[in-house]
Structure 1
Amino acid sequence: MIARKNIPTPLLIAATLAILALIAAAFAVFAPGDALRVTTALVLAGAVPMAIYSRSRCASAGGMWVLMVLWGFMAMVSVMQLRAWCLEPTFSFDCPNLKSDASNYYNWAIHHHDGRGPEPRGLVFKGFPLLMALLFRLLGPSVLWPLAMNMMFTLLAVVVGGLTCRRLLHPVVEYKGTFTCTLAMALTGTLMFYVSQGLAIQKEASIYLGMALTTYVLAGMAKQADDRSRLTLRDALLFALGCVIMGFVRTTFLYCTFVGIGMMTMARPRLLWRKGGLLMALALAAFAVGNMHALYSVEQHIVIMEGSGAMSRTFLTGHGPSAPYTKILGPYYSYSVTHRLALLPFIMSVQFFIPFPWTYNNFDFLNLY
C-alpha cells in the first residue's frame, strides 16, 4: 500500500504535468464546456485504477509509474480519437463519426436511450451497448463516456493482471512481490492491440476486465493450504462480477473460464473440489443467462472455436488487423486441435511482436479511426 505522504515527489510532479498537458490539449481542441468534460472523464478513468492499485499490498512507485505513463499515452490518443469522431462537419459528441461495430453499438445505445434512429439489427451480444445506454441515462448521450469507461476498464485489467501474476508466482519466484506485479503490468502495457481497445468503442476492454477478475480468483487456488481452501466472499464476488461481464459482453470467453476452473481444481482435487464446484456453478449460471440474451447458439459457438467463420478467413487471406499473426503463425485455423494446443505458449509470446515495425508499415496497430 502506498500512503499519499510516501508518493515520490518526481511521480507527483510527473502526474501534475501530465494532467496539465491533457488540459492544454483538450482546451486547444474542444470548446470550453466539452474540454472540461473530456479532461474530467479521462482523469477519472486513470485515477480510479491508480487508487485501487495504491491500496493493494503489491503497490510500488514503479507500478505507479507504469500506470501513469500508460494513462498519459491513452489520454492523449483519446483526445485525438474524440477530435476525429466529433469535430468533423455534421458530427458531435452525441452524434459521432463511428464506423463498423462501434457505430452499431453506439446507435443501439442511443436508440434505447432516447429513441433516436432505428435499432441496429444483428447485434450478437448486447452487454456492451447496454452499459453504454446506462451511461447515457446517468450522464447524458456522449461518445466520451464509453471511451472513458473502456480506458478505465483497460487500466483496471492491467492492474488486476499484475496482481494475478504476483498471486500466482509468489512464493515460487523468490523476489519481491511488488517487482513481479510491476513487471507484469509493464509487459501488459506493451501489448498495443490490448491497449488500443481502451481507445475505441469496442467490447474488448470489458472482456479484458472480466477475464482478469476471474483469472485473479483462479490464481488464488494455486498455492492454497488446507485452511484457506474455502471460497472467500471477496473472491466469490470478484469471480461472479467477471463472469457476469463476460456472460453479457461476450459469452464465448466463459469457455476459457471453464477450462481454467478444471485445470486449477484437478491440480489438487481432494482439497479444491468444493471451491472448484462453486466457481463452476457461478460460471455456468452466467453463461446460461448471457446466452439467453445472445443471438448465438452453442452450435455457433463451436463453429467459431473451430475457426469456420470470419476469423479463419482473415487468417487465410492475410488481410486486416490479423495479418501480422498470419505472417508469424501461418494458416493457424488449418492446424489440428493438438497442433494449436502445442503452439499455445508460442502464440502467447507472439502478442509482444505485434507493435514491432516489421509487422506494419504504419501505425495501424494503434487501431485508430
Structure 2
Amino acid sequence: MGNFKVAAFCFVAILLTGAPATVLIGRTEPAAVSWTPALVVVAIAVVGYAGCYWLRKRASERYLVRAEVDRTFSGSPVFAYTLIAWVLIAGAGGMVMGTFFATKPVEEDSYRQGLADYPLPVLFLFAGLMVLAGAGYSARVFRRTHEVPWLRTRGIAVERAQIERLRPKEAVKLWLVGAAIDGMLFLSGLLPRLISGDKPEKDELALGVLGVVGGPGIVSFVLLVVMLFAWPTRGAAFDALRQPSSLVAIALVVLGMAIGDSAVGGILALAGVLLGSITCMNIQNRGSQPWLGFLYLAGNYAIGYLSAPNGGSALPVGFVGWSIALVAAAYTIREAYKHWKDWPMLVPVARPADWHG
C-alpha cells in the first residue's frame, strides 16, 4: 500500500515538474525541438535513481549499526539519498513531458496556453515543494519498513503515535500569533497606498480583515477538500475533517450561509470561520505529520502571497510586495522547521509512544 502511494506522489511530482520544463523547452520552435537531450537525461536519471536507492540501503544499514552502539536514533541518511533520487526521476520525467508538449503547436485553451497564467518561478516552487513532499513520504515509508522495527526490537526508539491534539490554549495562542503577523503584513501593504492617496474600498478592507483572522481556516478547508480527491491523502484529510471542532466549524458556516444576508447569519458564519482558523481544521495536528503541517504552511503561503486577483498566480509587485513576501517566506520556513521539531517521527522507548515535543 505504501509503495502504491509513493508511486502516486511520484506521478504528481513529474506532472508538476513538467510544467516549468514545458515553458522552458517551449521557447524553442516546435520543429527545432529534439528528443535527444530528454532521452540522455532519462538514461542518466534511471542509473542515478537505482544508485541512490542502493546507496540508501547501505547507508541505512550503517546507521542502524551505529544506532545500536550509541543508543540513539537521530541522523538517518535515508531522506538525503531519497531526495536526490526523486530530483533525478522527477526532473527526467518532467523533461520528457516538456519535450512532448513543446513539439505541439500552441492552441487556445491548450495546456501550454494555460501555463501562461503562472510565472516560471511559481511553477518551479510548486514542483520543488511536491518533490520535497514526495521524497519525504517515500523516506518515511522506507524507515517505517526497515528502520523502525529494528530500533523497536532493540529498545532504542518507536514511531510516534499519529493521533494527537493541540491543547485549546496552545491552538488559540498559535492563531493569535499568526493573525498578528498577518495583520502587520496586511497593514504594511496598505501603508504605502494610504501615503500615496490610494484609499482602499470598504469591500477590499473587509476581505483583507477576513483573510487575516479567517485565512488559516479557509486555506485549511480548501486544502483538505482537495486532498479528499487524491487517493494517497484521502484518509489523512478525512481524519482531520471529521474531528468535532472541524465539523462544528463547517456546520456554523453552512448554517450562517443558509440563513442568508442578516446579522445572525453573518455572526454564525464568522464564528465558524474563526473556529476553523483557531484549530486550522486540525490539519496541523492530525493524520500523517509533519507532512500535513508542511502542506498547510506551503498552501497558506502560496494562496496568501502568490495569488493574483483573478485567482491565478502572480509574483509580488514592487519593493513593498517583495519585502512582505520575503518576510512571510522567512516566517513560513521558521514555522515549518518548528513543526518538524514538534512532530518527530521517532521517540525514545523510555518515553510514552504518544509523547509530543
Higher relative contact order (CA 8 A, sep 6+): 2
Q: TM-score range by the shorter chain?
A: under 0.3
